[in-house]
A and B are shown apart, each in its own frame.
Chain A
Amino acid sequence: MQWKDTGWIQMVFLLGMIFMILLNIKRAKGTKELYIRRIAGLNAIDEAIGRSTEMGKPVLMVPGIGDLNAISIQALNIFAYVTRTAARFANPIRICIANPAVYTVAQEIISDVYQKEGLGDRYDPDSVRFVSDRQFAFAAGVSGIIHREQTAATFFLGEFFAESLIFAETANSIGAIQVASSTETTQTPFFIAACDYVLIGDEFYAASAYLSREPVLVGSLVGQDWCKIAVIGLIIGGFITNSIEQPKMLKDEESGKMRYLKREERLIYRIFHPEVDQEKEAK
């Protein structure tokens, strides 16, 4: 990336955001007083597990079909919380996975949860399953498990694509409580239409902080809010400068007539596209 020539402002903004996040993590250490607004989907986790305990049916969890990345790690973090609650009530769990790397990490995390709760004997290694790495084979496999085992609660959290609605509608058809979230904005409407609770956008990432109230995570969440304020500020700044420049007129060099500024001649555009100025200088 030739940031020196083309995008230094993005680099500065990125470093600024990283600074804000790390600063707030440092600030939040040692305090648990920071406020996080209520998120209905996360409050519903205990309700869903309670229901499956009453019915004696398993809780199903799917961390999406993506690779081992921040999204799947976050989904497994939430599943660790769900598993711990389920383990206390001796409730069976099923975690269906489409990626071998995620499968290995999930096995470690879930086994660790049972060990830490002192319930190692309740851990069933087959409760974490690699189903298939092929999208629709995975969809068919998970739908089969939902039907055969009549899961009472389902958690679809992570990176979902076209298979999202197949899962959600299958689980809905057997009356399971569903908590879902997809980092793919194209799939979120499907989950909203078919599931009981949906975590939209960054609510998915806020889950760890919301459920654990750990200072590092809460501080990070506050840092994210600062970043959002900075982005909003930038949008407002762009709106104002563009509005000021919009009615400005200048004399066209070629035709000699007065004209409005072109998009690439406006301040905000030039800040984010410094190569335009460099090309002009080169000419």
Chain B
Amino acid sequence: MNWLFLAQAETPEYNFWNGAPGSPALLTKVVIALLVGIGIMIALMFAPTRLRRPLVALATFVAGGFWMASTFWPTAPDAVTEGRNASEKVAIFLKDVTSVVADFSNVLTAFLLGLGIYSIVSVHGKRILKRQQDWSFSVVLFASIVLMAIFGYADWMDEQNRTAAVTALSPGFWNRGRDLLFDGMLQNMDAAMFSLIAFFILSAAYRAFRIRSVESTILLSTALIVMLSLMGVVVSAWDGLAGDFAGGNLKLSEISKFINSNLQTPGIQAVKFGLGIATLAMAMRIWLSLERGGLNS
């Protein structure tokens, strides 16, 4: 089987962190990385409990520090491949390593997705075995997972041997099957769920805009003005009636513009400022391991 497709085809230049696809150097690096990874995992498993927290704190600090450095360290010009001074050398090192470190999270996510699938199998498998309510839907779920995996993988393998033009002219069995499952069913079901939002907006807006308090009355009035300002006929009639009275400020389009730029936008900006600062504080607590379990401590 040709495993060369797994190589990093988008990285033409090789450094300490990668190598030419299929080369002995790359294989050696992969084996060393694997052994180091297994070694770290075994060391963590057998580490005394009191040592685990500092170790996790150290790993968090190093990982966070790396991303801080890769974000804030001044970058070297694109043309420079060999650092001319210490700053550029660090910049080039960070640039080389960033894609490798980013791959760490991809590899981890791939493993974790396996755990996610285990959860699905566990929940729905028990439901089928115990013949619980609606167990038949769980059977449909398993059938969907298996079918999608088979057709998706077979179509992808097929594509490796055929050009896009050939596939477009005469789609094979796997391609037709995959299109039916993905474009014909999954995409449409996604769209169906998305379209529900239109009806939910109506029912939620009805409840929110009922006049129950001063706040909901203000909400209703502003919403009404903004909604009316989006209707061309209403805007035209209103603006025509208001004319230049009060300096033209009573035109519906002007009132709506005022609400958007002087009430809505500053409100959203204020919320975003708060969120940004709070995220910074949270990130600092996690990075420096000050969070210590939060509400679970």
Contacts and interface: CB of A to CB of B under 8 A. Distances in A.
Contacts of A80: 294-296
Nearest to A195: B204
Contacts of A220: 281-282, 284-285, 290
Interface in A80-120: 80-81, 84, 100-101, 103-104, 109, 112-113, 116
Contacts of B122: 125-126
Interface string B71-105: 11111000000000000000000000000000000
Contacts of A152: none
Contacts of B186: 137
B196 interface: yes
Counting chain A CB atoms within 10 Å of each CB, the highest count among B116, B123, B193, B205 belongs to B116
Contacts, number: 184
Interface string B182-208: 000010011001101100110111011
Interface residues of A, number: 74
Contacts of A148: 133-134
Given A103-B115, A137-B190, A166 B200 contact: yes
Interface in B48-88: 71-75
B28 interface: no
A101 B272 contact: no
Contacts of A11: 72
Nearest to A21: B281
A4 B277 contact: no
Interface in A56-94: 70-71, 73-74, 77-78, 80-81, 84
B109 A136 contact: no
A251 interface: no
Interface string A157-188: 00000100110110010000000000101001
5 contacts: A77-B295, A183-B275, A185-B272, A194-B207, A228-B277
